[in-house]
Amino acid sequence: MGQKALSRLRFNFGFLLEATLGESRVTELDYPTIRVSEDVTLTPLQGQIEATRTSEGIYIAGVLHSAIELECVRCLTPFLHPITFEIGDLFYYPPHTAPPGEFVIAETGFVDLAPLVRELSLLEIPMHALCKEDCLGLCQECGQNLNEGDCGCEEDNSDPRFAILGKLLD
Digit-by-digit pLDDT tens for the chain (170 residues) are 445 666 889 999 999 999 999 999 999 999 999 999 999 999 999 999 999 999 999 999 999 999 999 999 999 999 999 999 999 999 999 888 889 989 999 888 999 999 999 999 999 999 999 999 999 999 888 889 999 988 888 776 677 787 777 777 76
The predicted structure's pLDDT at residue 2? 47
pLDDT of residue 170: 67
Q: How much is the pTM? A: 0.81
Nearest residue to 83 via CA among 108, 100, 66, 95 = 66
Interstrand relation of 40-53 and 24-31 (parallel, antiparallel or unpaired): antiparallel
Q: What is the pLDDT of residue 61?
A: 97
Distance CA 34, CA 68 (A): 10
pLDDT at 1: 45
